[in-house]
Amino acid sequence: MSALVNTSSTSDIKQSLLANKARLAESISDISVTTRIDYNLRFTKQAVLVVANNAEQYSPLASQFLVTLSNESPNNNQHTSQDSHINVAFVSASTKLNDIQIRCRLIEQLFVNALFDPEESLAVSALRFANLQSEAITIVIDHAHALSLQIKYELSQLVNLAKKSKLTINVVLFGLTEAAQQLSENKSLFKGKMVLIDADTGQVLSYDDKKIAIERKAQTLGLWQKLTLLGAMSLIAGALIWLYLLIVEDINQQADIQTSLESDDIPRLENIAKTRNDTAIRQMQKKEKTSQSKISPNTNVIHEQSKATSGDVLQALLGNATANQAVLPPAQAGDVLQALEVVDGHSEAEEIIVLDVKAPSENQLSEEGVLQESRSDINPNYYQAKAIEHKQGYVIQIAGFADVKLSKRFIEQNSTEGLHSYQRYLADKDFTVVTSKVYATKAEAKSAISLLPAQLIARKPWLKSISSVINEINTFKR
């Protein structure tokens, strides 16, 4: 009997212990938000942020907390002289209020007639005034999600510095979950300085809690966005392919040109050499006929003809034959080719260059077969004839050259301008002067300067009287 009684009593004790534990857990979980706020303010000494999903949940808690502060009576046994009077500031935040306005409202409520800088941080200005007045301060802000991150950080920093200075400064914020999400994104600034409390359950939330985690939805592209992206990629791919084909085509063309040059270079040069040789042979034959007709036109004397040597042909082409040279018998094509070869051992490329020299025309061969420089462009008789026609005539002197070839080339390049030239002495040297035609008056010559091409005007031409031109020509003749 006693054993049964002991067994039943033991089970009753266990049941009562379990019931007590359940009631204790319920009491802990059912703790009010106001009590949780007061606990954290007293023991953790951190700023508090109470968050909820809507204003109907957190705004009544803010009013209830203010009522609790007004009904709180200081206990002399637990509070110091610093807690004998609580200075409270309440601000209902809004997006229309900037940081300076928020600071002004808080400082003006806490410290009357105090001069402060509204751009100065609350962690500096409020802490300085709290040290001067030595009283407990409580800051309550409703709709804290409308505050900027800067103000939230200043308030958390204010509580942290007050704790180090052994001052009582409490900060309680009420707002939407957005405020907690903002703190969670910047938890390195607020961790250990501000506590997050759920307004629905009164539980403390961690900065990584799922309730305040930001839902990041994967951004999906719409149909038109996909089509636009596909079109852009197609255009880029097409452009790259087109560029690649252009490069390949250019490389192939260069390779074809190089191949054709390598295959056609030697035959082309041989044809050029053959043409030049044929021209030289014809000129030599014509020269021979002219020489024979002038030396012995009516005689039956037959000179013994012998083949020309390579040196004789080469001298004839270079214009080094004498003016009184006797009859030059015709040379065979093989002799001409042999004469054009370079005896000193030049390379084949150099022989081709020699053959490519422009063959002299018939007007450039004298009666004796000597190649003379053409002086048809230098015509002093033109100036003498115009001097008789225009006694007060003028010319435009355009250029002067110490080399006759350069003057001839210059006149050929400007053949459309009707240029003339004459020779004079300058610094004990022959000097070729290139001028325009002779104008009757100085005014006509002066107006003609502006009608010259730009490349001639760039040489800064000037006027010269026909009389001075005649004097220079006569001096050159003497």
Which domain CATH number covers 61? 3.40.50.300
24 pLDDT band (50/70/90 cuts)? very low
250 in the same domain as 206: no
User: Cβ(470)–Cβ(383) under 8 Å?
Assistant: yes
pLDDT tens sequence across 406-419: 888 898 888 888 89
Regarding whether 162 and 116 lie in a shared domain, the answer is: yes
Give how far Cα 132 sits from Cα of 74, 159, 426, 427, Å.
Answer: 21, 16, 106, 105
Residue whose C-alpha is closest to residue 285's, from 315, 316, 248: 316
Q: Does residue 435 contact residue 464 with C-beta atoms inside 8 Å?
A: yes
Q: What is the pLDDT of residues 139-173, one digit of tens each?
A: 999 999 999 999 999 999 999 999 999 999 999 99
Residues 205 and 262 in one domain: no
Mean pLDDT of 345-374: 37
- Residue 123: predicted pLDDT: 92
135: pLDDT strictly greater than 90: no
Same domain, residue pair 321 and 240: yes
pLDDT band at 176 (very low <50, low <70, confident <90, very high): very high
Could you tell me if residue 322 is inside a domain?
Answer: yes
The DSSP call for residue 104 is H
Give the neighbor-by-neighbor strand order of the sheet with 169-176: 86-92, 136-142, 169-176, 47-52, 194-198, 204-205
pLDDT per residue over 462-478, tens digit each? 899 988 888 888 887 66
Q: What is the arithmetic mean of pLDDT over 251-274?
A: 67
Q: Are residues 240 and 163 in the same domain?
A: no
CATH at 396: 3.30.70.1070
Across the range 114-126, mean pLDDT stands at 91
Q: Are strands 169-176 and 86-92 parallel, antiparallel or unpaired?
A: unpaired
Residues 70 and 206 in one domain: yes
Query: Are both 271 and 328 inside the same structural domain?
Result: yes
Could you report the per-residue pLDDT of 72-83, keeping only the tens digit for each?
A: 654 444 444 444
Per-residue model confidence (pLDDT) at position 335? 54
How many Å apart are CA 317 and CA 338, to the nearest integer? Answer: 13
Bigger pLDDT: 147 vs 333: 147
Mean pLDDT of 114-133: 91
Q: Is the pLDDT of residue 2 over 60?
A: no
Q: How confident is the model at residue 353 (pLDDT cuts 50, 70, 90)?
A: very low
Buried-exposed string 300-331: b where 16+ CB fall within 10 A, e elsewhere: eeeeeeeebebebbbbbbeeebeeeeeebeeb
Name the least confident of 50-64, 206-220, 247-261, 328-342: 328-342
- For residue 342, the model assigns a pLDDT of 36
Domain around 318: 228-293+306-364
Give every CB contact of residue 127 below 8 A, 6+ residues apart in sequence: 158, 161, 162, 165, 167, 169
Residues contacting 419, CB < 8 A, separation 6+: 398, 410, 411, 434, 435, 436
What does the angle CA 312 – CA 314 – CA 318 come to, to the nearest 5 degrees?
120
Checking if the pLDDT of 99 tops 90, the result is: yes
| Residue listed under structure tokens 């409703």 | 142
The pTM for the full model equals 0.42
Average pLDDT over residues 34-58: 91
For the cut 70, the answer to whether the pLDDT of residue 186 exceeds it is yes
Residues 43 and 190 in one domain: yes
Domain membership of residue 76 (yes or no) is yes
272 pLDDT above the threshold of 60: yes
Tokens of 148: 């900027």
Q: Considering 186, 212, 238, which residue would you say is the last residue of a domain?
A: 212
Stretch 95-107: mean pLDDT, rounded?
94
pLDDT, greater one: 187 or 347: 187
Please write down the long-range contacts of 304-307, taking CB distance under 8 Å and 24 or more positions apart.
305/329, 305/330, 307/331, 307/332, 307/335
In this prediction, residue 423 carries a pLDDT of 86
Tokens of 290: 């002219």
Name the more confident of 235 and 26.
235
Query: Tokens in use for 363?
Result: 């007007």
Look at residue 130 and tell me whether its pLDDT is greater than 50. yes
Predicted local confidence at residue 474, as pLDDT: 85
Would the pLDDT of 89 be above 70?
A: yes
Does residue 218 lie in a domain region? no
Q: How big is the chain by its Cα radius of gyration, in Å?
A: 58
Distance CA 187, CA 49 (A): 13
**Residue 457 pLDDT exceeds 60:** yes
Q: Are residues 111 and 160 in the same domain?
A: yes
Within this chain, do residues 107 and 36 fall inside the same structural domain, yes or no? yes
Residue 468 lies in a domain: yes
Q: Last residue of some domain: 212, 241, 273?
A: 212
Mean pLDDT computed over 15-25: 55
Question: pLDDT digits over 238-261, tens only?
Answer: 999 999 999 998 898 888 777 665
Check whether 201 has a pLDDT greater than 50: yes
Decide the pairing of beta strands 429-435 and 394-401.
antiparallel
More confident residue, 93 or 32: 93
Higher pLDDT, 175 or 297: 175
Query: Is residue 372 one of the residues assigned to a domain?
Result: no
Residue 88 domain flag: yes
| Res 195 pLDDT > 60 | yes
Q: What mean pLDDT comes out for the span 19-46?
A: 72
Query: Given this model, what pLDDT does residue 238 score?
Result: 93
- Per-residue pLDDT band for 194 (boundaries 50, 70, 90) equals very high
267 confidence band (pLDDT: 50, 70, 90): low
Domain-embedded: residue 299: no
Q: Work out the burial of residue 368: count CB atoms within 10 Å of its CB; fewer than 13 is exposed, 13-18 middle, 19 or more buried.
A: middle
Query: In whole angstroms, how far apart are CA 80 and each of 75, 85, 170, 425?
Result: 9, 10, 15, 123
- Sheet architecture: strand order including 429-435: 420-426, 429-435, 394-401, 462-465
Q: How confident is the model at residue 289 (pLDDT cuts 50, 70, 90)?
A: low
Burial grade of 357 (CB within 10 A; 0-12, 13-18, 19 or more): exposed
45: left (phi over 0), alpha (psi -120 to 50) or beta: left
Same domain for 206 and 279, yes or no, is: no
* Same domain, residue pair 206 and 174: yes
Write down the residue that tokens 């063959």 correspond to. 359
Instruction: Tell me, yes or no, whether 68 lies in a domain.
Output: yes
Average per-residue pLDDT for the chain = 75
Number of compact structural domains in the chain: 3
Q: Are 107 and 120 in contact (CB under 8 A)?
A: no
Among 188, 212, 236, give the residue marking a domain's end.
212
Q: Provide mean pLDDT across the span 191-206.
A: 91
Residue 69 has pLDDT above 90, yes or no: no
Is the per-residue pLDDT at 203 higher than 60?
A: yes
